[in-house]
Amino acid sequence: MLNITDDIRQLKRLIETKAQHPYLLKYIQKPSLDEDKLILLWGLFNDLDVTSEKRNQYICSTMLVQIALDTHEIVSNSGEGIESPEVLKNRQLQVLAGDYYSGLYYQGLASVGNVDMIRILSSAIKKINDNKIILYQQGSINDVPTLLMTIKAIEASLIHKLGDYYSEPAWMDLSEDLLLLKRLHAEKCSYMKSGQSIVFDVLREMTFDDSIGGEVSIKEEQVRTQFDKCLWDARQSVERSMRKLAKLDDELLERVKAILEQTESIANSYVKEG
């Protein structure tokens, strides 16, 4: 009987084999695989009464959707200014690659006649893209709860929709909370490294109670404090969500703990300052 390590290794190999296209890989980078989302999907389906064959099909299809979304995200975050023919070709191939990975997911589910799963994942794709537009559209988010709900939708809608379909609220909550925390941590790292972060940009557009008419440096400090509060709250939510699951595989539990440890220093700094 395979354990989670063997299963994940097998699933990664299966997904990478399906996503491999020799011509595309000559010009664009190998598609990245979000292993945390893969592990969360494994945890969800491991709690369901489905055959390993169907489980692998559903997980692979969902991860191909995620790869397609991530590939298109690379295109949307590049392409500023005048582009050389080589750069333009690369961007066009990135778009085609994203479409190709989307086609693979449709093909896989259509081959087994699972219309329900196609409908669920299509609904999740729409929700993710709608919320990406909201996140990047200036002035469309006016408060912190809306910002956090938008990020959750972007990061966790694929798993959330599946959890809803299979009536697994505990997995919906853990996936949303853990992937929110992971995204906030990535945004913080980006901000500290380059000063760039879409989440910080959105927070700067908000008015906090004591920030009216304040200096730029004071405003930025308030933004940082508000962000760290979001990260602290997200950590608390992850810990609460973990307790809702009666059984959590050891490897998945270790991964959740590792993400909590990664964000511990930032969260503690907020507590001390608070």
pLDDT score at 201: 94
| pLDDT for residue 121 | 92
* Whether pLDDT at 151 is above 90: yes
- How far apart are the C-alpha atoms of 117 and 112, rounded to whole Å? 10
pLDDT of 197 > 90? The answer is yes
Q: Using CB atoms within 10 A of its CB, is residue 221 exposed (0-12), middle (13-18) or buried (19+)? A: middle
Report whether 53 contacts 41 (CB < 8 A): no
Q: Say which DSSP state 32 is in.
A: P
pLDDT confidence of residue 124: 94
What pLDDT shows up at residue 1? 41
Q: What angle do CA 39, 182, 34 make, to 5 degrees?
A: 40
Of 152, 150, 175, the closest CA to residue 162 belongs to 175
Check pLDDT > 50 for residue 127.
yes
pTM of the entire predicted model: 0.87
pLDDT score at 150: 97
The whole-angstrom separation of Cα 78 and Cα 88 is 10
105 contacts 68 by C-beta, under 8 angstroms: yes
Helices (H), the chain: 4-19, 22-27, 35-46, 52-76, 85-111, 115-136, 144-165, 169-194, 198-204, 216-244, 250-262, 264-273
